[in-house]
Every structure is written in structure tokens, then in C-alpha cells.
């Protein structure tokens, strides 16, 4: 049983170095009933996940310090089956392959359409398949 299945409120961690994007997603998802935690970089995101495990993580692919693929790899060490959505403004074949190898369940292009993000989260939280 997943954490959110016990409480009925999925917890989502958003890791993105762009405050406007991070806050827009957080506000939208909170309005959809999710409990949202935000982090401005990979290190902060991992620390927040360790302190309060989440049901799903959304991470930017390109961030200073620690890229999204490394965030995913480290999350996989903590929570192997954790659903992860990658956001990227550089939607290239190498980015897709790197996200796939790291273990992303979905990759969405920035600027992300919030409705598409919400549908992707619902699918992944329900155990839906790979959307890479």
C-alpha cells in the first residue's frame, strides 16, 4: 500500500531551480488536493524526501549542482519504485534516454501544461505505465 492510499492525500515533491515554475505547479497541484513540498535544487530535494517521503517526485532535468537524472538515481536508492516525472526545456533524444536510464516514469516538456501534468500524476500514482 502506498503512503497516499493510507491518508487519501498524495504527497508530491517538486524539485526545480526556477521559483516561478516551482510555485505555479505547487499552487495548481495543491488546488487539486495534493500535499505539495518544494525544493529549489537536487540536494534540498533529497533532504526533504528523506525527512518526509513522498508518493511522487517531479524534477527538472537541467539544474545547477545536481541534474535531475542524478536526483532520480539517488531517489531510486531510497525508494526503488517511486514514480518520477522529469521536466525539461531541452526535449532531445539524449535527454529522453538519460531520463529513461535514470528511471523516470514520464518526461514532460517545459513550459509544462498543468492539466497534462495532473493527468500524468494521476496515471503514475495509479500504477500506470511508462510514458517516455
Query: In whole angstroms, what separates CA 72 from the centre of its chain?
Result: 9
CA distances from 11 to 58, 72, 76 (A): 11, 17, 17
**pLDDT reported for residue 130:** 52
**pLDDT reported for residue 95:** 76
Mean pLDDT on 42-47: 98
Indicate the average pLDDT of the chain: 90
More confident residue, 118 or 132: 118
CB atoms under 10 Å from CB of 89, counted, come to 14
Kindly list the structural domains of the chain, giving each domain's residue range(s) and its CATH number in brackets, ordered by start: 3-125 (3.40.50.2300)
**pLDDT reported for residue 94:** 82
**pLDDT reported for residue 128:** 66
Strand order in the sheet with 84-88: 35-39, 11-15, 56-60, 84-88, 106-109
Q: Are strands 56-60 and 11-15 parallel, antiparallel or unpaired?
A: parallel
**pLDDT reported for residue 23:** 97
Amino acid at each position: 500500500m502506498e503512503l497516499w492510499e493510507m491518508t487519501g492525500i498524495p504527497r508530491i515533491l517538486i524539485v526545480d531551480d526556477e521559483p516561478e515554475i516551482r510555485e505555479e505547479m505547487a499552487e495548481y497541484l495543491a488546488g487539486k488536493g495534493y500535499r505539495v513540498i518544494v525544493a529549489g535544487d537536487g540536494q534540498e530535494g533529497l533532504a526533504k524526501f528523506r525527512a518526509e517521503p513522498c508518493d511522487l517526485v517531479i524534477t527538472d532535468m537541467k539544474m545547477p549542482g545536481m541534474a535531475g537524472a542524478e536526483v532520480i538515481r539517488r531517489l531510486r536508492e531510497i525508494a526503488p519504485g517511486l514514480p518520477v516525472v522529469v521536466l525539461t526545456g531541452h526535449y532531445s533524444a539524449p535527454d529522453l534516454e538519460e531520463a529513461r536510464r535514470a528511471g523516470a516514469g514520464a518526461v514532460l516538456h517545459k513550459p509544462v501544461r498543468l492539466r497534462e501534468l495532473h493527468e500524468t500524476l494521476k496515471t503514475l500514482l495509479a500504477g500506470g505505465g511508462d510514458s517516455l
